[in-house]
């Protein structure tokens, strides 16, 4: 018995210590539990409810209030790196979860479940508060992070006021801010065509993916009815994807996997003879924003898989169960009946961003697709620099570099020999990279050119290079990668700003705060049959099964919570061992 007790002594001690630890942590949690973040009170306008001063304000220890509009990629990266001792954070979003969008196409056919790729905002905030308590418990400053489930309708930058409507009652709410970050993403682009919103599925949110999954299963079940005529069956089993960018291509690939792997197993073989997937694309290849070799590879793979490609074609009319497609080469129109149509032609400006742009004025906010921000992501036209925008709802304004060619050349030519040597070029890059962030982005390419020109460049060639840079400096792509990097950048900038609060920080001074620079880490896309393509700057494009595994591993690691990591890994094993689930709810 004693021997047995001696054997279990260490585990017993460990268990007791752990339980005590948990008990103490919970007691401290309870003791430091702050009162609820400001309740709503009535204002002169009886229909408008205003946010009352927060509890820290009431205690005289006012911290700046940061309001983050949206719960997407920008918001997630910003929250994870923000110093929450320095400010009070309120997240306002019409969606109460973060969504891992790169796996959204896979969730349309059940390769992963919808719930696996979403993380509730409250869970992320609660984890952050718990983490902060452990990290900063000595500082005695409890973190103040809260969530308001509402749609932001309008922002008044002059009064620093946000107007929103409750997601539950529709009640009009007013929230004041010291600093606000607009991260509301983009909306679906229906190309202004009537019928798209009514008859087609968009692919942007978890709800869209759920609706698509249901529609695909319904089409299969309906077509399997013995009363279906051959024509009805053929129309029902025609799945159309409009737009072959990354989202449309990945969805078509996932659908093909599902139909060839699971539908084959579950439905009669004669039924599946009628199944067709068509991709309608206005360009000449799928994935045409990628490297040409990748686009060709993906186009050939789709053709080999039997996916019908209607290339250089445009949808000109959408009716329930029928599209009219115009062939841009022959100018001929044809009717294309469909069972399910998924519309992925791109993104449009968020109504909220458009309203704000109108409020500021078209002379400053002249872009029709996104809010123009400066190199520190502050919205142009907000003199107080309290409103930032990042991610899909914003576009970066870069200063033109070509018009400064003469001045830059003279600055670089340290020995005055009329040529820039390699070391002079490196010095120049270091000194002006904050003024012209695009130079930093194009630095590797310029270095290659410099090497090719034997480490020296003349004034004329240098001017030509700068002209090329301006020509190729486009707005950043609307990707999670850009949104994630901008969220991280804003966290750093705001931490610095809140450290000196209430004193202003001259963030436009490059020595105080460098400008935002996007680091292009490449792009991947899934093209079916456990094959992905990957484009990495300055390297050869790569494709194959190992790229798929690399991409999948990366996706797994980058989920927004540990819960999602486990669930996505579980879904992956489940799909491979047992197949996809086709039940409908
Ligand atoms: C199917 C699909 C696949 C993709 N795959 C990739 C990929 O593989 N790699 C990649 O880099 N990018 C990918 N993207 C693009 C990427 O998802 C976006 O670029 C990214 O989500 C942009 O982040 P964001 O924070 O700006 O906006 P979002 O992530 O779109 O978040 C916007 C948030 O704002 C909320 N919101 C919107 N309007 C309001 C309002 N008025 N009031 C309150 N809240 C509001 C929304 O509910 C949402 O929570 C994909 C996109 C899609 C649709």
**Domain coverage including residue 368:** 42-186+349-396+479-519
90, β-bridge pairs: 67, 146
Give the least confident one: 17-21, 27-31, 403-407, 533-537. Answer: 27-31
CA 6 to ligand 1 centroid distance, Å = 57
In a domain, 408, yes or no: yes
CATH code for position 174: 3.50.50.100
- Of the listed ranges 19-23, 301-305, 425-429, 470-474, the least confidently predicted one is 19-23
**Where among 348, 366, 382 does a domain terminate?**
348
Q: What is the pLDDT of residue 46?
A: 62
Residue 372 CB coordination number (10 Å): 19
Rounded Cα gap, residues 401 and 429, in angstroms = 12
In a domain, 316, yes or no: yes
Residues 370 and 506 in one domain: yes
- Residue 191 maps to a domain: no
Atom of ligand 1 nearest to the CA of 164: 42
Q: What is the pLDDT of residue 139?
A: 61
The rounded Å distance from CA 207 to ligand 1 centre is 13
**Alpha carbons 538 and 522: distance in angstroms, whole number:** 10
- Is pLDDT at 190 greater than 90 in this prediction? no
0.75 surpassed by pTM? yes
Q: Clarify whether residues 218 and 321 are in a common domain.
A: yes
pLDDT at 163 over 80: yes
By most ligand atoms within 8 Å of CB, the mutation choice from 480, 482, 524, 552 for ligand 1 is 480
Say if residue 17's pLDDT is above 50.
Answer: no
Do 460 and 507 share a domain, yes or no? no
* Atom 6 of ligand 1, residue of closest alpha carbon: 102
- 79, 99, 109, 483, best to mutate for ligand 1 pocket (most atoms within 8 Å of CB): 483
Structural contact between residues 120 and 99, judged by C-beta atoms closer than 8 angstroms: no
For the stretch 318-361, pLDDT in tens is: 999 999 999 988 999 999 999 999 999 988 899 999 999 999 99
From atom 19 of ligand 1, which residue's Cα is the shortest distance away? 479
The answer to whether 50 touches 43, Cβ cutoff 8 Å, is yes
Same domain? 211 vs 136? no
Is 436 a member of any domain?
Answer: yes
| Residue of 242, 236, 234, 238 lying closest to 310 (CA atoms) | 242
Over residues 276-296, the mean pLDDT reads: 91
**Do residues 7 and 106 both lie within one domain?**
no
Domain assignment present for 414: yes
Chain position carrying tokens 């914003």:
394
Give the span between the Cα atoms of 33 and 55, in whole angstroms: 12
- The pLDDT mean for the chain works out to 84
62 and 111 part of one domain: yes
Are residues 527 and 487 part of one domain? no
Number of domains in the chain: 4
Strand-pair category, 161-166 with 144-156: antiparallel
Which of residues 153 and 468 earns the better pLDDT score?
Answer: 153
Weakest-pLDDT range from 28-32, 237-241, 488-492:
28-32
Instruction: Give dist(CA 394, CA 392) in Å, integer.
Output: 6
Q: What percent of the chain has pLDDT over 70?
A: 86
Reported as a pLDDT band with limits 50, 70 and 90, residue 51 is low
Higher per-residue confidence, 117 vs 86: 117
- Using a 6 Å cutoff on CB, does residue 97 contact ligand 1? no
Residues 107 and 214 reside in one and the same domain: no
Ligand 1 centroid–CA 96 distance in Å is 13
381 and 411 both lie in a single domain: no
334 and 387 fall within a common domain: no
> Do 125 and 110 share a structural domain?
yes
Ligand 1 centroid to residue 476 C-alpha, Å: 15
pLDDT at 30 over 60: no
Q: Within this chain, do residues 93 and 18 fall inside the same structural domain, yes or no?
A: no
Query: Which range, of 40-44, 68-72, 451-455, averages the lowest pLDDT?
Result: 40-44
Instruction: Identify the residue with better confidence: 415 or 234.
Output: 234
Does residue 427 have a pLDDT over 80? yes
- State the pLDDT at residue 490: 96
Question: In this structure, what token pair is assigned to residue 392?
Answer: 């899909």
State residue 53's pLDDT score.
47
Question: Ligand 1 mean position to 44 CA, how many Å?
Answer: 36
Q: Band of the pLDDT at 476, cuts 50, 70, 90?
A: confident
């Amino acid at each position: 018995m004693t021997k047995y007790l001696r054997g279990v002594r260490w585990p017993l001690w460990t268990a007791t210590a752990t339980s005590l630890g948990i008990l103490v942590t919970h007691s401290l949690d309870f003791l430091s539990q702050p009162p609820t973040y400001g309740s709503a009170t009535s204002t002169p306008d009886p229909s408008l409810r205003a946010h009352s001063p927060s509890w820290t304000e009431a205690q005289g220890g006012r911290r700046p209030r940061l309001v983050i509009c949206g719960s997407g990629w920008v918001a997630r990266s910003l929250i994870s790196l923000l110093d929450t001792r320095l400010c009070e954070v309120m997240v306002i979003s019409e969606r109460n979860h973060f969504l891992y969008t790169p796996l959204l196409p896979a969730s349309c056919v059940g390769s992963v479940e919808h719930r696996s790729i979403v993380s509730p905002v409250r869970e992320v905030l609660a984890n952050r508060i718990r983490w902060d308590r452990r990290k900063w418990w000595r500082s005695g400053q409890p973190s103040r992070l809260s969530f308001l489930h509402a749609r932001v309708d309008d922002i008044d930058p002059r009064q620093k006021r946000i107007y929103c409507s409750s997601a539950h009652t529709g009640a009009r709410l007013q929230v004041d801010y010291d600093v606000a970050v607009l991260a509301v993403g983009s909306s679906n682009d229906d190309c202004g065509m009537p019928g798209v919103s009514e008859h087609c599925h968009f692919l942007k949110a978890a709800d869209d993916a759920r609706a698509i999954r249901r529609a695909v299963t319904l089409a299969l079940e309906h077509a399997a009815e013995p009363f279906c005529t051959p024509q009805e069956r053929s129309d029902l089993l025609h799945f159309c994807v409009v737009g072959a960018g990354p989202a449309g291509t990945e969805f078509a690939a996932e659908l093909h996997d599902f139909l060839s792997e699971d539908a084959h197993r579950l439905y009669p073989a004669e039924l599946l003879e009628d199944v067709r997937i068509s991709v309608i694309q206005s360009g000449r290849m799928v994935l045409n924003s990628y490297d040409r070799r990748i686009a060709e590879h993906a186009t050939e793979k789709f053709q080999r898989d039997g996916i019908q490609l209607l290339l250089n074609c445009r949808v000109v009319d959408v009716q329930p169960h029928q599209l009219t497609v115009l062939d841009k080469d022959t100018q001929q129109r044809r009717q294309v009946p469909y069972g399910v149509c998924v519309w992925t032609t791109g993104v449009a400006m968020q109504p909220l961003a458009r309203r704000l742009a109108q409020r500021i004025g078209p002379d400053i906010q002249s872009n029709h697709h996104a809010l123009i921000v400066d190199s520190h992501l502050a919205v142009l036209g907000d003199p107080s620099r309290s409103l930032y925008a990042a991610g899909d709802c914003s576009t970066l304004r870069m200063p033109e570099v070509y018009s400064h060619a003469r001045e830059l050349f003279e600055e670089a030519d340290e020995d005055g020999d009329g040529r820039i040597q390699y070391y002079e070029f490196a010095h120049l890059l270091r000194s002006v990279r904050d003024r012209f962030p695009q130079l930093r982005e194009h630095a590797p390419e310029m270095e290659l050119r410099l090497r090719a020109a034997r480490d020296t460049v003349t004034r004329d060639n240098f001017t030509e290079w700068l002209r090329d840079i301006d020509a190729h400096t486009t707005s950043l792509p609307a990707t999670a990668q850009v949104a994630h990097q901008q969220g991280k950048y804003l966290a750093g900038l705001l931490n610095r700003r809140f450290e000196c609060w209430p004193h202003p920080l001259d963030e436009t001074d490059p020595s105080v705060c460098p400008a935002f620079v996007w680091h292009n880490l490449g792009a991947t896309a899934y093209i079916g049959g456990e094959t992905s393509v990957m484009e990495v700057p300055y390297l050869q494009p790569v494709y194959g099964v190992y790229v798929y595994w690399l991409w999948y591993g990366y996706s797994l690691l980058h989920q927004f919570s540990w819960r999602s990591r486990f669930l996505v890994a579980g879904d992956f094993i489940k799909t491979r061992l047992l197949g996809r689930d086709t039940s409908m709810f």
